Structure 1
Amino acid sequence: MNILLVCACGSSTSILMQNMRDNLKDDEKDWEIGALSVSEAKTKFGKYDYVLLAPQVKFQTNMIKGLCKDIPGITILNISAIDFGRCNGEAVLNMIRENEKNK
């Protein structure tokens, strides 16, 4: 599983990204989690299964969905402001896990 966290400048997600890595289960240890700014991410969406948008870029959800519309299997989700603010990697991972169950 390849996961991309997207924020305004790419730096505010680094703590959340590390917390997510720390909370991966044993069978998820091969998951790759990265973080980029919106401008950096625009040309790199194709290698990800999930694109998670930080609250400060939530307003760009439709634009990002448009850029990803021809990428098979990609899922775009918004990270809740509470989970983002608390750097709650476990909650963000649970959002992905739940989404995977419902596919």
Structure 2
Amino acid sequence: MNILLVCSAGMSTSILVEKMRTEAVARGLDATIEAVPESRLKEHTTMDVILIGPQVRYLENKIRTAVNVPVAVIDNMAYGLMKGDQVLDQALSLTGTAHA
């Protein structure tokens, strides 16, 4: 599974990506998880789900119309607390993948 997080600059989102990767490994999931600024979204063509950082939630409609994959804004509380497990669960639920 390819999970892409879209953010503004990527500083705090990169911390969340690392926590999500750690959780994916602990669950035995084959997942590629990356964070990119919206300006680089077009460079990524093999994603299964896109999660948008709460600070750039205004991009949701623009991104949703530009791609053919599930798109959602990351839960505010999970983002603020850097809960990689919860954000991974959010991504899995958007793709219909069972939580491991």
What interval of TM-score do these two structures reach, taking the shorter chain for normalisation? 0.7 to 0.9
Name the aligned partner's letter for residue 11 of structure 2: S
The question of whether the paired residues in 2 share the 8 Å contact of 1:10 and 1:37 is answered with: yes
Separation in 2 of the partners of 1:88 and 1:101?
A: 19
Aligned residue number for residue 80 of structure 1: 75
Aligned residue number for residue 95 of structure 1: 90
**What is the percent sequence identity of the aligned residues?**
33
User: Any stretches of 5+ residues in structure 2 without a counterpart?
Assistant: none
Please state whether the residue corresponding to 2:45 is helix, strand or coil.
helix
Please state whether the residue corresponding to 2:34 is helix, strand or coil.
strand
Instruction: Note the alpha carbon deviations across 1:9-59, whole angstroms, 9 max, x for none.
Output: 122201100000111111x1x210001011111x13421001100001111
After TM superposition, the score normalised by the length of structure 2 is: 0.86
The question of whether the paired residues in 1 share the 8 Å contact of 2:54 and 2:73 is answered with: yes
Size of the aligned set, in residue pairs, is 95
Let me know the Cα RMSD of the aligned residues: 1.5
Q: Show structure 1 runs of 4+ deviating over 3 A.
A: none
Aligned residue number for residue 52 of structure 1: 51
